Chain A
Amino acid sequence: MDDTGTVIAFWMLAAITVGAALMVVMVRNLIRAVIFLILSFVGVAGLYITLSADFVAVTQILIYAGAVSVLMLFAIVLTPRGDRGNQETFLRLPALLLALLVAFTLGYVAIDTEWAISDREGFEETASVIGEALLDKYVLPFEIASVLLLVAMLGAIVIVRPESGVDEARE
């Protein structure tokens, strides 16, 4: 974070990320909100790149910008009266207070903590290191996560599956 280019890139990306994130909650139209959310995801990916975390950055684009947001678009289009959009709600003030409180707490902790700075050199290639760590030291959490995803998928299939007999009754 020393050379000028990185600093400029950081501030630009930070502005895009935060600005887009703000627009997500301020825009009334849900589809536009998701588009802004994607922009925010891309900004976060850019921040990862300035931190030399190339694998995480590309994964961020692939998973969040490419897959999760598309899922959201699908959900909005298939939702009845999804065109009502973001509406006024009495929870506006409490939500604002809570968000400010969280932001304040996180910011305070980030500034107040004495961060231990590692003197280790940065990784040349992060992908292979992450791969080895996932399949060696952290293999149990990795496997548990995949089982969790499988369970979620099965649950989704069970929920939307036609109940037995419905099809016959309709014919």
Chain B
Amino acid sequence: MRLEADWYDFRDLGNTVGALLEQIDDWGAPDWVPYVVSGLIGVLAILLWGVLSVLAFIWIERRVVGLMQNRIGPNRVGPSGLLQPVADALKLVLKEPITSREADTILFWLAPIVVFIPTLVVFAVIPFGERMVLADLNVGVLFLIAIGSINTIAVFMAGWSSNNKYALMGAMRTIAMLISYELIQVLVLLAAVLFVGSMRLGDIVAWQADYGVWLLFLQPLGLLGYVIAGAVEMNRSPTDIAEAESEIVAGYHTEYGGIKFGFFYQAEYLAGFAIAAVIVTLYMGGWTLWGAEEWVPGWLIFLAKLYGVFFIYIWARGTLPRLRIDQLMAFAWKFLLPLALVNVMVVGGEMLLWQEAELSSGQALPLFGVVNFALALALAGGWAWFLGQLRPDRVAHRAILTQKVGAIYYGEAAADL
């Protein structure tokens, strides 16, 4: 598969960088120099791509959502409003960075910076092309989950240090939400890893290219779980309850303005791209397209898929109403978690069958695909029907400890406790 080519072969930009590094090596530089240079090139490329994509997608999203909601969207700055993101960015930079009174100043300033780190670091393990990956870790999938969990802390720092009850409420919501959906993420990714037998993202792409099948055909339940958990993690509508503006002003970044808010905004977009990139890599064959990557640059295929997946999220934002927090939590624990657990067991059984019955991949994979699709439909439909049959509790069960410590008081009932 490996593309052996000259430096000007842009089907894989890794060729160019590789040639440059060899040249540096030939000049007799110490062996750490190519290492540092390749790291710098990778970081700069990812940063540049990220910022440009965000700027482009701010415009695309506003126009597209405008079309969906039967209005025009930004169309004043530049042709068709193309320069609107630039104007927005300039406005954010020029605004006064306000720090609210009684805020925890250090954490308040640190939070927008910390929120940026995990969203950028994720891209280090994403293979943009055959040789275009900054660090192909052998624990890549686990790394993705671990980095995603760091996000929670930055959001909590922002919400708590603002000294604003809406901000704190948003932060607590985020934590409750992310912890629940992290579980589902781990379980569905575990099923994908079971199939491939490696946690290295490069291996997962190679596996899908070797067998000529995307994991989404074998893992419909896993894809469903990951798409929903990803929507929660990137904190966008319909799951943006951490900043639900109709309930808690703007959630954890209520007190943030100017460029500090810009950081949160940018990080949110980058997190969205990261989730889309993971979906493309794990479930949609990454930079491969059944042989087309020999002719079309792999990174173009990858980016096309990535933007396609991200567009689905924009679509969802434009069409679906926001969920309530209890609905979102119940959905995670009562609906997705059992399905994800069953999915892991099914995949384990299938891999055992594949090995023990000595099926060829031509027999096994179509069989698994059909079985898994049928199971996904039956399980998701059946489980939803079953949950719909249950009578909801009339009295919401609240933990007694929470009431006693006085964290949340509801009405008069709590007063006589």
A-side interface residues toward B, CB under 8 Å?
5, 29, 31-32, 35, 38, 54-55, 58-59, 61-62, 65-67, 69-70, 73-74, 77-80, 124-125, 127, 159-163, 166-168, 170-171
Contact = CB atoms under 8 A, between A and B. Distances in A.
Interface string B379-417: 000000000000000010111111001110000010000
5 smallest beta-carbon distances between A and B, as pairs = A66-B149, A62-B146, A160-B399, A61-B146, A167-B395
A59 B153 contact: no
Given A55-B139, A166-B400, A66 B150 contact: yes
9 contacts: A54-B138, A54-B139, A65-B150, A66-B148, A66-B149, A127-B139, A159-B401, A161-B397, A166-B400
Contacts of B24: none
Given A35-B107, A61-B150, A5 B399 contact: no
B142 interface: yes
Contacts of A125: 138
Interface string B216-234: 0000000000000000000
Given A35-B107, A65-B149, A70-B179, A55 B142 contact: yes
A111 B216 CA distance: 54
Contacts of B172: 74, 77
B27 interface: no
Contact of B149 (A61, A160, A162): A61
Nearest to A170: B413
Interface of B: 32, 104, 106-107, 137-139, 142-143, 145-150, 152-153, 156-157, 160, 168, 172, 175, 179, 182, 199, 395, 397-402, 405-407, 413
A78 B149 contact: no
Contact of A70 (B137, B139, B156, B398): B156
A80 B175 CA distance: 19
A69 B399 CA distance: 21
A87 B146 CA distance: 33
A124 B156 CA distance: 37
A97 B175 CA distance: 38
Contact of B400 (A59, A73, A163): A163
B32 to A, nearest CB: 7
Nearest to A57: B139
A59 B142 contact: yes
Nearest to A55: B139
A40 B256 CA distance: 27
A45 to B, nearest CB: 9
A161 B147 contact: no
Contacts of A166: 400
B137 A162 contact: no
A5 B36 CA distance: 11
A54 B405 CA distance: 41
B156 A58 contact: no
Contact of B402 (A35, A78, A168, A170): A78
B400 A70 contact: no
Contacts of A162: 397-400
B220 to A, nearest CB: 26
B107 A32 contact: yes
Contact of B142 (A29, A38, A62): A62
Given A61-B149, A66-B152, A78-B407, A167 B175 contact: no
